[in-house]
Amino acid sequence: MINSSKQARSADCAANPMTAQWGGPYGGVVPFDRVRVADFKPALQTAMAETLAEIDKIADDAAPPDFDNTVLALERAGKTLARVRAIYGVWASTMNKGEFQAVETEMEPKLAAFDDQITQNAKLFARIESVHRSPHTAGLSPVAQRLVWLYHTNFVRAGAALQAQAKIRIAAINEHLAGLFTRFSQNLLAEEAGYVLYLRDPAELRGLPDSLRAAAASAAAERGRPGEWAILNTRSSMEPFLTYAERRDLREKVWRTYYSRGDNGDAHDNNAIIGEILALRAERARLLGYATHAHWRLADSMAKTPEQAMALLMQVWPAAVARVRQEVADMQAIARDEGADFRIAAWDYRYYAEKVRREKFDLDMNEVKPYLQLEKLREGMFWVAGELYGYLFRPVTDVPVAHPDVRVWQVRSAQGRHIGLWYFDPYARPGKNSGAWMSEYRTQDAVSGDLHPIVSNNTNFVKTDDGTPILISWDDAVALFHEFGHALHGLSSRVEYPSLAGTNTVRDFVEFPSQLHENWLSTPEVLSRFAVHYRTGAPIPEALVAKIKWAATFNQGFATVEYLASALVDMRIHLAAEATIDAGAFERAALAELGMPAEMVMRHRTPHFAHIFSSDGYSAGYYAYLWAAVLDHDAFQAFLDAGSPYDAALARGLHDEVLRVGNSVDPAVAYRNFRGRDPSIDALLRARGFPLTQSRPS
């Protein structure tokens, strides 16, 4: 007999496409064609109620707790909510405007409260604790034991073992933080959409290559300003403008507009929000028994402690700053020779660095860009995945998408086995987060019937009006391969339990596969086949490739310092003991103490540092990119030592020991299984042209 509440939930599921099982080919696909914003709130409410009923059933089970009726049961729970949250996440990151923002503002705190209802369920935690302590657990498979450890660790870290009053306060903090994260993100979207520089005089475009002019014209036309040129307040528009625009006053204007996002003293200013976030995080950490938020965040990472992470950052900082001094001296000399009577400022760095590149290495990146077509590089990524892992990509049109710009490919093995689906959302649009990222719509899941992964890559290139090939910068090409590395990590997963599958691993390891895959862009095999001129089809000249490789360590001071400054401020601000923190003052003081070069700024200033203030995700964790860079350079060195970046045995080992296992193996062990030893920092320092050391991350 079906009880009335279950009947009601079934009726809700039938009426709301977001709560229904995903139908269609490939084991089910996301029903993007049936999504309405009005359905999000009821879908989330229905799915949360269903999940809580499933949790209560597990917690109230009269049978003694064991792996199957507790931990495995938890793995099977919440599937409806997982589907709804996947769709909700797509709208939040790629179509976040209008009525959806109201839904997000209302539902984010409720979702946080819902999560706490589960982790603070005393009866449920008692069962998890019992399984964790049971001598029978030692007889489980290693992967099952790791799943038990993961559940127990996550519940304890969320406060499940605390007294009642502390739990109540933790829940209140999490709910408040969820609202603050949403406001921070929506403010940033508003700042990026609201501050657009429109140019009307062609003379203002002096120095910009034709491809950038065309993109700016297209962006202006799309915003109802035909005949003008729009420089958007996003990194993909800012960086090329600062690199090529001859008008110094306009460079300064674009630079100041971009780096003041969230810091304009208006309705979208993020500084007060940051102060609240930091205070709440510090209080939560103390309640959980940690000295600081940073200590809480890193307790289950590869680094283990903030001190170890800081040690790695500071190991590289002095050499990177010294390199910046050299770079600035080279730029100042050129500016002086041109008759300039100013000192290099932050809005000059990219412009004069490009001049130094041309003078020192006879390399003009404008010569490279005509060979970097977005779609050809996408084909190159597919080819690399085929060479390394035997993956084949077939475009499909029988799958609904969230926006007409999105395209889908089926991924198969060399033997024809279905691997998963890859979605590509390449173009900028209002309501879409800036930058580039990977998302998992469905994580590989053997518990629920061998469900294959569905992943997406998202970028923000400006779409051309006339259909001409989109030309991208070398840095954008690197980012493209980086995000595809995340996608391959998700696609390659073959783990029994979804909580341990794909990219569900610690933050300072999850960036390793993505950063590693950047290396294949510059291999001769990719460049000769896919870096072809957009007009003639001729491959990029070998002499030009040689210049790119010769200049590989060029401007590494700038790239490393702008990243390290952000990572160090992130760590320091989350180690701070002050009750209240003025983020702007803290940022200035921390950079002054570090000796930050005056000619540049952090890659992400605190008022728009979405990595650490739009969620807890990368908070006290931005260091992870450098930690993972040590792994990635050390790993790629193995391919170089073997004589080929496409060495079959190493590629098979990378797939089987790293990409395939997700978090079913401790990351340090997974790396050791692949490399045969712990990582060394030497390959990273060598690649960036910095002095070598003998230290290793532990």
Measured between alpha carbons, how far is 494 from 500 in angstroms, rounded to an integer?
10
Measured between alpha carbons, how far is 384 from 526 in angstroms, rounded to an integer?
8
Closest C-alpha among 665, 575, 683 to residue 628: 683
Contacting residues for 656 by C-beta, under 8 A, at least 6 apart:
none
Measured between alpha carbons, how far is 121 from 466 in angstroms, rounded to an integer?
57
Selected catalytic residue, list 191, 354, 440, 483: 483
What is the distance between the terminal CA atoms of the chain, rounded to a whole angstrom?
57
**What is the 3-class SS of 606-668, one letter each residue?**
HHHCHHHHCCCCCCCCCCHHHHHHHHHHHHHHHHHHHCCCCCHHHHHHHHHHHHCCCCCCCHH
Identify the residue whose tokens are 């000796």.
595
CB 572 within 8 A of CB 578: no
Q: Are strands 229-231 and 418-427 parallel, antiparallel or unpaired?
A: unpaired
Q: What does the angle CA 135 – CA 137 – CA 139 come to, to the nearest 5 degrees? A: 90
| Amino acid of residue 288 | L
Backbone angles phi, psi at 395, to 5 degrees: -65, 140
Closest C-alpha among 119, 124, 54, 114 to residue 85: 114
**What is the 3-class SS of 402-426, one letter each residue?**
CCCCCEEEEEECCCCCEEEEEEEEE
Closest C-alpha among 186, 196, 198 to residue 262: 186
Residue 354 annotated in active site:
no
Measured between alpha carbons, how far is 494 from 614 in angstroms, rounded to an integer?
31
Contacting residues for 418 by C-beta, under 8 A, at least 6 apart:
26, 27, 410, 411, 412, 452
> Residue 536 gets which letter from DSSP?
T
Closest C-alpha among 358, 327, 351 to residue 242: 351
Measured between alpha carbons, how far is 181 from 195 in angstroms, rounded to an integer?
21
Closest C-alpha among 516, 472, 493 to residue 679: 516
Measured between alpha carbons, how far is 655 from 85 in angstroms, rounded to an integer?
29
Indicate which residues carry an active-site annotation.
483
